[in-house]
Structure formats: C-alpha cells, structure tokens
C-alpha cells in the first residue's frame, strides 16, 4: 500500500528536499554528459566535413542524433577514427578519452535508477548525498553518491568536454 504523505508535514518537506537535491544533481550531470556526447558527435562530423555545410548538418541530424545511435557507439566510432586517422592526437588525449566510459556509466546510472525515498532514508539527518536504487537478480542495490563526490564527477565531466573541444580544434586544423 502506498502511503500518502502531506506536502506540509515534516516527512513531506523532507521528501521535497530529497527530490529537489536529486533533481538538481542529476540534471546538472545529465546536461554536462550530453555536452560531452554532442562534442564527440561534432568531432565525428568534423572528421568527414571540416567545414560546416548542409551535408555535415545532415550527417549529424540523420545519423548521429536521430538514428538511435547510443552514446557508447558514438564513442566507439570516435575512438576508431582517432586510431585510424589521428593516432598522435589519440595518444595526446587518451587520458580524457578514457574518462568518457566513466561519464557514460554515471549518466546511465543517473538516468535509469530511481532515487531513494524510503522511510530509512527520509529519517536520515543530513542531505549530503543522493541514493540511487537498482535491482539485479531480484535484489535491491543502493548506491550512495555523496554531494562532494558528485561535484567532483561533474567537474571531471566538464574538464573532459573542454578537452574534447580542444581536440576538435586540432582535428580541424590538421584537416585543413
């Protein structure tokens, strides 16, 4: 049976605080990871069309954005292009490129796991973390992400996005 919690009760206020924190943190990361995904798609397009054109826009819209191509598959294509055509840039940026796997994993976790609003969590004293619930083989798993750790992951995601933008500029310069 689902418990109805009045929004103006202490428990209701606590639920709203948790949901608000969860939404703010998840939203920020989902936006930042989408930037990384978009930069990777732009780099793929830039490899084939160094100058923006109708063809490059069509490739981006039809193949990279609208085809159901996953973030992971875009990363695989991107890595293959670097291996085959830009090995020196791949070596120079390998640290940032390796971090994209972690960004994808974090993004998927945030997007596909629900927030914990259980009574045990609601009665906790601090709002210093979010808890994500998932299920594997019928067992519930709880992943705690402290706000401090979350902010570090968000900063890392932003640094990777900027490094990839720098890599894109190098590919453009090399292809001209």
pLDDT for 13-28, tens place per residue?
A: 888 888 888 999 999 9
Q: Residue 160's pLDDT is what?
A: 97
For 75, the token pair is: 């990363």
Record the pTM: 0.85
Give the integer Cα–Cα distance in Å for 89 and 78.
12
- Computed over every residue of the chain, the mean pLDDT equals 88
Q: Which long-range contacts (CB under 8 A, 24 or more apart) does 63-66 make?
A: 65/41
> 2 pLDDT exceeds 90?
no
Q: Residue 158's pLDDT is what?
A: 95
pLDDT for 93-112, tens place per residue?
A: 999 999 999 999 999 999 99
Q: Residue 137's pLDDT is what?
A: 92
Q: Which long-range contacts (CB under 8 A, 24 or more apart) does 73-79 make?
A: 74/37, 74/40, 74/41, 74/44, 75/40, 75/100, 75/101, 75/104, 77/44, 78/40, 78/43, 78/44
Give the integer Cα–Cα distance in Å for 92 and 66.
31
Q: Residue 1's pLDDT is what?
A: 57
Q: Residue 80's pLDDT is what?
A: 94
Give the integer Cα–Cα distance in Å for 162 and 160.
5
Cα of 168 vs its chain's centroid, Å: 19
pLDDT average, residue stretch 56-84: 87
Tell me which DSSP letter residue 6 carries.
-
For 74, the token pair is: 């875009």
Percent of the residues in the chain that have a pLDDT greater than 90, as a whole number: 52
Coil/strand/helix, residue 143: strand
Residue in the structure block whose two tokens are 């259980």: 118
pLDDT average, residue stretch 138-152: 93
pLDDT average, residue stretch 128-137: 89
Q: Residue 125's pLDDT is what?
A: 62
Q: Residue 107's pLDDT is what?
A: 95
């Amino acid at each position: 049976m689902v418990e109805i919690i009045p929004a103006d009760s202490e428990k209701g206020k606590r639920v709203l605080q948790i949901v608000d924190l969860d939404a703010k943190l998840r939203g920020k990361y989902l936006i930042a990871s989408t930037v990384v995904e978009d930069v990777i798609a732009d780099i793929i397009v830039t490899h084939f069309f160094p100058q923006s054109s109708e063809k490059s826009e069509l490739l981006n819209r039809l193949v990279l954005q609208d085809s159901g191509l996953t973030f992971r598959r875009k990363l695989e294509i991107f890595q293959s292009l670097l291996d085959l055509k830009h090995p020196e840039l791949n070596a120079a940026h390998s640290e940032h490129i390796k971090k994209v796997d972690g960004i994808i994993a974090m993004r998927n976790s945030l997007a596909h796991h629900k927030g914990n609003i259980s009574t045990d969590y609601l009665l906790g004293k601090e709002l210093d973390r979010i808890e994500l619930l998932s299920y594997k083989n019928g067992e519930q798993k709880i992943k705690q992400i402290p706000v401090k750790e979350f902010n570090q992951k968000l900063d890392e995601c932003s640094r990777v996005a900027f490094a990839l933008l720098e890599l894109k500029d190098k590919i453009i310069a090399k292809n001209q």
